[in-house]
Amino acid sequence: MEDAVSLTGAPENKSPEISFIRRLLRMRETGLIAIILVLFLVMSFASPYFLTWVNMRAMVMAFAVEGIVVVGMTILLISGGIDLSVGSVTALAMVIAGWLFLNGVDPWVASAISIAACTAIGAFMGFFVTVVGLHHFIVSLAIMVIARGACLLGTGGRPLGLYTLPSEFKFIGQGSIGPIPVVILIFLVVVVGFDFMLRRTTLFRKVFYTGSNEKAAAYSGIRTKRVIFFTTTLCSALCGVAGIIYMARFGSAQPTFGIGMELNVIAAAVIGGASLKGGSGTIFGAILGAVLLSVVSSSLALLDVSVYWQDIIRGSILLTAVSIDHYLVKKRR
């Protein structure tokens, strides 16, 4: 990391192209893409099914909806928070919308109500964090359990079959526009939209300031509590959106859906460069983290590795990625 030091010197003795390439090499996204490409290469030799349209599509479908939650989690992590309740809240979104639908509410209205309810849950957590002053971890841990309990209570523990869902609604989760599934289109819109906003808007810039140094942010006139309240609420709202898409895709509401999802989502964000200390992370990186985890899962499945091994490998990847990052950051200081 010597060049981090030399960059403080005179800038004129370096051509812009070289410094651009260096910068590119330093970016974590570059490293992740390289790892993913290597995996692709290896797998295309190891399994004839890997590089098929069907497998690619399945892989993208596997993380697309969860990717929407990853977006919310990344923004929350950047602001210095964390949310363990994402899996439960996503399930609750399905259950609320499904239950309303079974009780005669129009599915679109039911979905809107459900997303609003999830937003309210986020606001509720935000209240406990910013006004009461509790830690995100403990508040979201409580909500994780409460929301799961509510799911089971509302359904009696059994999935709600939504066989009469109109096909326009199911289109969200099952349809395609041309060759591309709607789910993936929604995912792309959310990712590109939030990535852009996070990079460019003053609103999200304040999220970075707050997570980078909350006190310095307050000393710069930023209302840091409002920022944290906002990111907490946004994360739950995006869980609501993801829950609705899942419901449309499965045609049912599953009260036990998303158990352990928080691990995947946090892992993706952290592998992609978000720090649990706040202040850093990108949506693009987090999605690459999700892609990496998904490619690994898919590869292991194709290679007939036992499902039980997959968890162990996933956990190990997380630990390795975070350790390398921690080491590099320490070296740079």
Partner 1 sequence: MYGPVMSDDLILKISNLSKSFGPIRALKGVDFELRRGEIHALAGENGAGKSTLMHVIDGILQPDSGEILFDGVPVKIASPAMAQKLGVGFVHQEIALCPGVSVAENIFMATTNSSRALLMNYRELERKAAEVLGELVDIDPTTLVRDLPISHQQLVEIAKALTLDCRVLILDEPTAALTETEAQILFRIMRRLADRGISIIYISHRMVEIFDNCDRVSVFRDGQYITTRNVAEITPDDVVNAMVGRVIDELYPRKQSEAERSDEVLLDVRNLSERSRFKDVSFQLKKGEILGLAGLIGAGRSEIVKGICQLEGEVSGEIALDGKTLSLKTYQDSIAEGIVYLSEDRKGDGIFLDMPIAGNVSALKPEQVANGFGLIIPQKEKEQAEELGARLNLKYGSLSDPVSSLSGGNQQKVAIAKMLSINPKLIFLDEPTRGVDVGAKAEIHRILRNLAASGVGILVISSELPELIGVCDRVLVVREGRISGEVTGDRMTEENIMHLASVGDVQVALQ
Of the listed pieces 124-132, 148-156, 159-167, 204-212, which binds partner 1 according to CB under 8 A?
Answer: 204-212
Q: Which helix (H) or strand (E) holds 252?
A: strand 252-253
Could you tell me the smallest distance in angstroms from the CB atom of residue 168 to partner 1? 32
Shorter beta-carbon distance to partner 1: residue 145 or 203:
203
Could you tell me the smallest distance in angstroms from the CB atom of residue 212 to partner 1? 4
Which of 205, 305, 314, 317 forms a contact with partner 1 (CB under 8 A)? Answer: 205
Shorter beta-carbon distance to partner 1: residue 23 or 158:
23
Which of 9, 133, 178, 179 forms a contact with partner 1 (CB under 8 A)? Answer: 9
Shorter beta-carbon distance to partner 1: residue 201 or 306:
201
Shorter beta-carbon distance to partner 1: residue 141 or 218:
218
Q: What is the radius of gyration, based on Cα positions, of the chain?
A: 21
Question: How many residues bind to partner 1 according to rule CB under 8 A?
Answer: 31
Could you tell me the smallest distance in angstroms from the CB atom of residue 197 to partner 1? 9
Q: d(Cα 322, Cα 306) in Å, to the nearest integer?
A: 25
181: three-class secondary structure by DSSP:
strand
333 binds partner 1 (CB under 8 A): yes
Could you tell me the smallest distance in angstroms from the CB atom of residue 332 to partner 1? 8
Which of 101, 208, 250, 284 forms a contact with partner 1 (CB under 8 A)? Answer: 208
Q: d(Cα 329, Cα 294) in Å, to the nearest integer?
A: 26
Shorter beta-carbon distance to partner 1: residue 9 or 178:
9
Shorter beta-carbon distance to partner 1: residue 223 or 314:
223
Binding to partner 1, residues 209-248 (CB under 8 A): 209, 212-213, 215-223
Could you tell me the smallest distance in angstroms from the CB atom of residue 78 to partner 1? 11
**Crossing angle between the packed helical segments 202-212 and 224-250, to the nearest 10 degrees:** 110
Q: d(Cα 88, Cα 144) in Å, to the nearest integer?
A: 5
Of the listed pieces 4-12, 32-40, 230-238, 311-319, which binds partner 1 according to CB under 8 A?
Answer: 4-12
Shorter beta-carbon distance to partner 1: residue 19 or 323:
19
42: three-class secondary structure by DSSP:
helix
Could you tell me the smallest distance in angstroms from the CB atom of residue 23 to partner 1? 8
- Render the burial of 234-255: b for 16+ CB within 10 Å, e for the rest: bbbbbbbbbbbbbbbbbbbbbb
- Give the pairing type, strands 180-181 and 252-253: unpaired
Q: Which two tokens stand for residue 289?
A: 């983290």
Shorter beta-carbon distance to partner 1: residue 158 or 200:
200
Q: Say if residue 221 is exposed, middle or buried (CB neighbours under 10 Å; 0-12, 13-18, 19+).
A: exposed
Of the listed pieces 96-104, 155-163, 187-195, 196-204, which binds partner 1 according to CB under 8 A?
Answer: 196-204
Q: Which residues contact 251 (CB under 8 A, 6 or more apart)?
A: 161, 162, 163, 165, 170, 173, 174
Binding to partner 1, residues 18-47 (CB under 8 A): 19, 23
The tokens 């109500």 sit on which residue? Answer: 113
Q: Which of 82, 87, 70 is nearest to 194 (CA)?
A: 70
Q: Which residue type occupies 300?
A: L
Could you tell me the smallest distance in angstroms from the CB atom of residue 299 to partner 1? 34
Binding to partner 1, residues 252-281 (CB under 8 A): 279-280
253: three-class secondary structure by DSSP:
strand
Indicate if the alpha-carbon torsion angle 281, 282, 285, 290 is positive or negative: positive
Bridge-partner residues for 253, per DSSP? 160
Question: How far is residue 143 from each of residues 84, 123, 236, measured CA to CA in Å?
Answer: 8, 12, 11
Shorter beta-carbon distance to partner 1: residue 78 or 247:
78
Q: Which residues bind partner 1 (CB under 8 A)?
A: 4-9, 11, 19, 23, 200-203, 205-206, 208-209, 212-213, 215-223, 279-280, 333
